[in-house]
Amino acid sequence: MAKTGTTGDKIFRTVLLIAVSIIPLIVAAIIYMMVQNSLPTLQRFGVGFLTGREWIPAQETFGALPFIYGTIVSSVIALIISVPLSLGIAIFLVEQAPKNLAKPISFMVELLAAIPSVVYGLWGIFVLAPFVRDYLGAFLQKYLGFLPLFQGRLTGIGMLTGGIILALMIIPILTAVVRDVLEVVPVTQREAALALGATKWETTKVVLGNAASGIAGAVVLGLGRAIGETMAVTMVIGNSPQISASVFEPAYTIASVLAANFADATEKIYLSALIEMGLVLFFVTFAVNALAKLLIIGVSRRNGVAKA
Amino acid sequence: MTYRISELRQTMRSKISVSNLNFYYGKTQALQDISMEIPEREVVAFIGPSGCGKSTFLRTLNRMNDTIAGTRVEGKVTIDEQNIYASGTDVVSLRRKIGMVFQKSNPFPKSIFENVAYGIRINGIHKNKADLHERVEKALRDAALWDEVKDRLNASAFGLSGGQQQRLCIARALAVQPQVILMDEPASALDPIATQKIEELVVDLKKDYTIVIVTHNMQQASRVSDKTAFFMLGKLVEFNPTQKVFQNPDERLTEDYITGRFG
Ligand SMILES: Nc1ncnc2c1ncn2[C@@H]1O[C@H](COP(=O)(O)OP(=O)(O)OP(=O)(O)O)[C@@H](O)[C@H]1O
Ligand SMILES: [Mg+2]
């Protein structure tokens, strides 16, 4: 009997080991595939691929910088909008709202997360873009138009609209994760603050301090989504590979250019350029995550929390 | 003219006065018709079987139960003759006046110094940085923790032992200069030595504070308190000088509980 027991353990362990080793295998396989297929452009352009500002497939000129720029800027816009909003909603749900209000709102937030990307895109084209053109953009131009950020032609299609769409798409996940993080902060932390004469807002700050690393984690998750999001952004960002100081100008993201051009890319070098772009996306995501991890470690250190 | 201690006590005024207090969690009544006078600068112990309402009662004294949805209070609790449940009561400043120490130590995820400084900061008690440091030091000294932490004030509070963390929480409560300190089984998670330290501290703090302490430990109640209240099933069964409660209680129920015949 004891023998079957150990055999069972061995089998169990082997199965787990296989399951675990699948992860590095997949990572290795993806990197290998992408490097292998992007060898033509890797060899031909080297680092120039990353710094090049021109993208003219017909002339076999491939510079990825506008796409990297578009991806980063649209994601940052998305975070600037979504992080405060999500924090506010989550704080309201956990710290303020009575249960019979928190429940339906929570449900709606989760419902928003389930809407397909393409639907957001359609809504972006027909509602958001005109709104940005006629109201938001016009407003920004009128009062902040002296900034290069808000100059140029207002079409409603461009970086700002892309960023806003991204923000709307990551708000549900951000809100849901932050809400969960706030909910697990022990009641005793709130009571400790209250017992010292803390106001509601001061107590909330204590709760946020407790949840700091979790919130940072949520932001990373949102950023990861924003960077990788494809469909809706493709529909509203204008898909023009340029680097412009104005958020009203059209732009292009890495994920969008991949999705929009893969079918047309028949020449080997074009295909290679697109796959290298995928490789860049992979590493940008990787770098963002690493940066965020460092941030989280920093925050927890400062708070004296031992866990990383 | 000289007074005997007991005579002096007679003249002491009530710090907290509770009359006909009922408390409800939703539809279930957790406290029934409780009346009690808690004298200034004394230690009052609450004892009674689990679930009898000791914590609930303690938390009605600083309105901490307000944070639980669906709770309801009837009756009157006055502190310094002010009804704390009167409409218009400033709960924030009330709570600053009534410190609280919890069963499980609950330091903030901050440094030792910042834990103690927190209440001083949010209430804007300090005049300047030096004053802040002085107040933190004094609170830590009063909580008998200063010598153990003076060299690591900027280290995380979580690095302290359980007993030290609990004394840190006491220091944090003392730092805002409360008048009353409510303690809910403050030593129940601690070893005998750490428990003894907390007990000595309680006796020591009596000079300046009115203290209410919930405990399951009969010896602890008899060691630290001047008066003892025995609760059962949400009712106050007996409230008398501690010596009397433990040697010659008025109520049969009290005697049964103290001698371990039930609960
Ligand atoms: N948040 C709550 N919601 C509903 N009922 C509660 C709540 N907290 C306590 N009760 C109930 O109120 C009664 C008194 O509980 P309380 O915690 O005051 O007892 P206690 O004397 O402190 O017990 P213990 O010695 O175990 O800490 C119990 O029946 C308990 O189940
Ligand atoms: Mg209790």
Which one of A201-215, A288-302, B50-64, B193-207 scores highest in mean pLDDT? Answer: B50-64
Least confident span in A158-167, A184-193, B185-194: B185-194
Q: Which residues of A touch B173 (CB under 8 A)?
A: 195-196
Query: Does position B5 have pLDDT exceeding 60, yes or no?
Result: no
Domain annotation for chain A: domains and CATH numbers: 66-302 (1.10.3720.10)
Contact B99 A189 (CB under 8 A): no
B1 falls in which pLDDT band (50, 70, 90)? very low
B106 inside 8 A of chain A by CB: yes
Write b or e for each residue in B194-219: b if 16 or more Cβ atoms lie within 10 A of its Cβ, otherwise e: bbebbbebbeebbeebbbbbbbebbe
A96 at B interface, C-beta within 8 A? no
- Which chain B residues are Cβ-neighbours of A202 within 8 angstroms? 122
Please tell me which residue, B258 or A295, carries the higher pLDDT value: B258
Task: Please enumerate in sequence order all residues whose Cβ is within 8 A of that of B236, keeping only pairs 6 or more positions apart, or say none.
Answer: B34, B35, B36, B229, B230
pLDDT tops 90 at residue B214: yes
The answer to whether B158 contacts A305, with C-beta atoms less than 8 Å apart, is yes
A305 touches chain B (CB under 8 A): yes
* pLDDT tens profile A229-268: 889 999 999 999 999 999 999 999 999 999 888 888 888 8
CA distances from A190 to A93, A194, A226, B161, B206 (A): 15, 6, 33, 22, 27
Contacts of B96 in chain A (CB under 8 A): 196-197
Contact B192, B205 (CB under 8 A): no
**Residue A224 carries which side chain, given as an amino acid letter?**
G
CA distance B99 to B102: 10
Residue B169 touches partner A, C-beta closer than 8 Å: yes
Residues A155-162: what's their mean pLDDT? 94
Residue B25: pLDDT over 90:
yes
Mutate to test the pocket of ligand 1, among B22, B23, B52 (most ligand atoms within 8 A of CB): B52
Ligand 1, atom 22: closest residue by C-alpha:
B55
Cα separation values, A286 from A29, A49, A228, A247, Å? 16, 19, 12, 26
**pLDDT score recorded for residue B16:** 95
* E strands present in A60-109: 61-62
Interface check A202 vs B, CB under 8 A: yes
Banded pLDDT at A225 (limits 50, 70, 90)? confident
Q: Sorting pLDDT into bands at 50, 70 and 90, what band is A73?
A: very high
Q: Is B95 part of the contact surface with chain A (CB cutoff 8 Å)?
A: yes
Instruction: Say if residues A71 and A253 touch (Cβ distance below 8 Å).
Output: yes
* Look-up of token digits 């950020």: A149
Q: What is the pLDDT of residue A267?
A: 87
Q: What is the pLDDT of residues A42-70, one digit of tens each?
A: 999 989 999 999 999 889 899 999 999 99
Contact B166, B186 (CB under 8 A): yes
Residue bearing the bigger pLDDT, B131 or A266: B131
Confidence of residue A291 (pLDDT cuts 50, 70, 90): confident
The residue of B64, B103, B108, B115 whose CB has the most chain A CBs within 10 angstroms, and thus the best one to mutate to test that interface, is B108
- Subunit contact A194:B67, Cβ cutoff 8 A: yes
Here the tokens at position A60 are 């076999």
- The full DSSP string for A18-72 is HHHHHHHHHHHHHHHHHHHHTHHHHHHHTTHHHH---EEGGGTEE--HHHHHHHH
pLDDT of residue A220: 87
Length of chain A in terms of residues written: 308
CB-based contacts of A105: which residues, under 8 Å, 6+ apart?
Answer: A89, A93, A97
Whether the predicted pLDDT of B3 surpasses 90: no
Ligand 1 atom at minimum distance from B48 CA: 21
Nearest to B172 among A186, A196, A209 (CB): A196
Q: Does A306 sit within 8 Å of B155, measured CB to CB?
A: no
∠ CA B245-B247-B250, nearest 5°, is: 50
Q: What is the pLDDT of residue A284?
A: 82
- Write down the pLDDT at residue A306: 39
Ligand 1 atom closest to the Cα of residue B231 is 21
Which residues does A181 contact at the CB level (< 8 Å), separation at least 6?
A90, A211, A214, A215, A217, A218
Confidence of residue A286 (pLDDT cuts 50, 70, 90): confident
The average confidence (pLDDT) of chain A is 89
Residue A307 — pLDDT band, cuts 50, 70, 90?
A: very low
CATH 3.40.50.1370 fits B5-258, yes or no: no
Q: Which residues pair with B184 in a beta bridge?
A: B214
A305 has a pLDDT exceeding 50: no
A277-286, B137-146, B235-244: least confidently modelled range: A277-286
Considering only residues B220 and B7, tell me which one the structure prediction assigns the higher pLDDT.
Answer: B220
Instruction: List the domain boundaries for chain B.
Output: 5-258
Query: Is the CB of B119 less than 8 angstroms away from the CB of A99?
Result: no
CA angle A160, A166, A168 (to 5 degrees): 105
Question: What ipTM does the predicted assembly reach?
Answer: 0.90
What per-residue confidence (pLDDT) applies to A293?
74
